[in-house]
Structure 1
Amino acid sequence: MITVLALGAGILLNAGCSRHKKVKRGKGRPAAVAYRVTGGRVAELHGGVAYAPSGAPVEVKRAIAAANRIAGLPYKWGGGHARLNDSGYDCSGAASYVLRNAGLLEDQMPSRGFLKYGKRGAGKWITVYARKGHVYLVIAGLRFDTQGTTTQDGPRWRTAPRKAKGHTRRHPPGL
């Protein structure tokens, strides 16, 4: 069952994801990161909608439900910072929306703010990948991310791994 939470509007923060460049793998380039998950902790993705594992903690189910609500909306620089419910989201606006609706974050946060979010390292259920200029989430083994190059690259679930070089891994306590 998908849990829906409605929260009030957020505070406008200096946000923005840096523009992403397509980087070809080749000599001297790191391989894409592989997300580690253990049996029973992997969400299913059908038609762009993620389904939480039945044994997932309620916060994970709420995070997946929140991400599903904004998945497919356009990329909008600064989106999700002036208002929690917006017409589009940038990377940090999307991550903030998901974590706030899961009860894991109090206010919107710019991407660099996630560098000190929660606890260090990868989480069992939720991992935040943050660097100055970009943030994305891996929830129950699925990546929730923006690309930020066109409006079609707004927040959505992605199964392809992404390079984590330069990103700090953080996670909500206990998850």
Structure 2
Amino acid sequence: MLRVYHKSSRILYNTAPEEFIDRVSRQAMLGIAVLTFIVPPVSADLFSASGPVVSGKTARLRFGRAAAPKNAPLAVKRAIWAANQLRSKPYRYGGGHKSFDDRGYDCSGTISYALGAAGLISSPMSSTEFSSYGERGPGKWITVYAREGHTFAVIAGVRLDTTPYDHYTGKWAPRWQTIYRPPRGFDARHPVGL
């Protein structure tokens, strides 16, 4: 019988009796077991698990970073903290579509990153896909506004967008935006329960 032990979590892995396992299968299973303990999940290193918090029900901006409401659900806080990580990333058309981890992000890549960190989606989505995401209408904590060609979100009262809406003074990049953007022409969607 092949046994694999892991000290830190005291896991014991037993396989079928040895006579049923050929040498190649044993090596393959051992390799998989070892990789399970060596390679951490992508989200463990990619997304921030902590960040600034404030009292109240609305996030607040300070120097371009959002502080999450202290009493917000953990998913909302994680979405905010993850979006803060994108402040230094440039706008890049198609960025964040193949993977949450990218050099730059477009609108739907930005929203995908935040929702992925919150555990609300498992892979990046396009603007068109966000038009049918979750439930219809504004959410209590998170609202995604989507139409073909663009998407943005309001998370705990603060807009996450790649366009400043004021096209004359703002910068195109994944950022928290301070200027109100009317949702006219967008489908409002929200994660179930949020």
Q: Which residue of 2 aligns with 1:167?
A: 186
Structure 2 residue 154 is the aligned partner of structure 1 residue 118:
no
- The answer (yes or no) to whether the contact 2:99–2:124 under 8 Å persists in 1 is no
User: Which residues of 2 match residues 77-156 of structure 1 at below 5 A?
Assistant: 77-147=93-163, 152-156=171-175
Is the contact made by 1:71 and 1:156 (CA closer than 8 Å) also made in structure 2?
A: yes
TM-score by length of 1: 0.75
Percent identity over the alignment?
52
C-alpha displacement at 1:82, in angstroms? Answer: 2.2
Q: Report the Cα offset of residue 72 of structure 1.
A: 3.6
The 1:147–1:77 alpha-carbon spacing in structure 2 relative to 1, beyond 3 Å, is: same
C-alpha contact (below 8 Å) 1:7/1:84 kept by paired residues: no
Higher helix proportion: 2
Gaps of 5+ in 2: 1-40, 45-54
- The CA deviation string for residues 21-70 of structure 1, in whole angstroms up to 9 with x for no partner, is xxxxxxxxxxxxxxxxxx93200100001000110100000000110011
| Paired residue type of 2:159 | R
Aligned to 1:58: 74
Q: Tell me, what secondary structure is at the counterpart of 2:144?
A: strand
Q: Specify the code of the residue in structure 2 equivalent to 1:94.
A: T
Contact 1:60 1:102 in 2 (8 A): yes
Residue deviations 1:133-167 (CA, integer Å, cap 9, x gap)? 10001000000000298xx4110001211121110
Q: Distance in 2 between matches of 1:96 and 1:50?
A: 17
Stretches of 4+ moved more than 6 A in 1?
none
Equivalent pair of 2:96/2:110 in contact (CA under 8 Å): yes
Counterpart residue type for residue 163 of structure 1: P
By how many angstroms is 1:6 displaced?
4.1
Contact 1:125–1:140 (Cα < 8 Å) also in 2: yes
- Where relative contact order (Cα < 8 A, 6+ residues apart) is larger, the structure is 1
Structure 2 SS opposite 1:7: helix
- The equivalent position to 1:76 in structure 2, one of 92, 105, 108, is 92
Give the distance between the partners of 1:83 and 1:115, measured in 2 at CA.
Answer: 20
Q: Is the 8 A contact 2:99 2:123 kept in 1?
A: no
Give the TM-score normalised by structure 2: 0.68
Instruction: Report how many aligned residue pairs link the two structures.
Output: 139
